[in-house]
Amino acid sequence: MTLLLVERGAPGLEIEPQPPAAGEPLFSLRLDGVEVPEEAVVGEPGEGWPHLERLLARGAALKAAELVGIGQAALDLTLSYAKERTQFGRPIGSFQAVHRHCADIYREVVESRLLAYRAAWSLDRSGGDPSAGDAGRAVAAAKAKASEAMPWATRLAHQVHGGVGFYRDYPLEIFTRRAVSAAAAYGDARYHRRRLAAAL
């Protein structure tokens, strides 16, 4: 694999905006007969994979952290809603089923946060090299956990909120879409579980 730097306005390069899945800008790139000078090669020809692997590991670690932030925001919103929304003459947060849902969301956020911290710390210690020490395993564990747990946590938050959680102008709706989008980026839970299993 060889990595090349391609200028934005290069002849033959087409950049087309795509509909955003969760508010973030997305583009498709099409390269047709694009020519680049020799100095556009990153590193040595045929030696691009280690560079790309470092970027993918950082991206996965950062997406795990982003997923934790999404989960924490969903938890905060859910706890606030459970304290304010009343049903049968009392706040819905006083019901055991709601207690359980909130506790489950909290557990998943805390576990995912610890793994995300470990991934960032391990990558930092390895100088960003996922093949050094346990950095690759830590990143895979963090991304696998967060990619599975945070979309699940937002779905559980919807159960507490009921119909209001699906309103387009209510934050939980965007948290859910962001969680699903971030879970797929840089490898989903299944991909990172396989990487973790192979590294053990």
What mean pLDDT comes out for the span 158-174?
89
Cβ count near 96 (within 10 Å): 7
- Give residue-wise pLDDT tens across range 30-89: 999 999 999 999 989 999 999 999 999 999 999 999 999 999 999 999 999 999 998 999
Q: What amino acid is encoded at 85 in this protein?
A: R
Is pLDDT above 80 for 22? no
pTM of the model: 0.90
Alpha-carbon gap, residue 95 to 90, rounded angstroms: 9
Tokens of 191: 């991909």
The residue that leads in pLDDT, 179 or 21, is 179
- The Cα 165–Cα 176 span in angstroms is 9
Q: How confident is the model at residue 5 (pLDDT cuts 50, 70, 90)?
A: very high
The per-residue pLDDT of the chain, averaged, comes to: 94
Residue length, the chain?
200
Percent of the chain with pLDDT over 70: 100
SS3 129: coil
Check residue 20 and give its pLDDT: 78
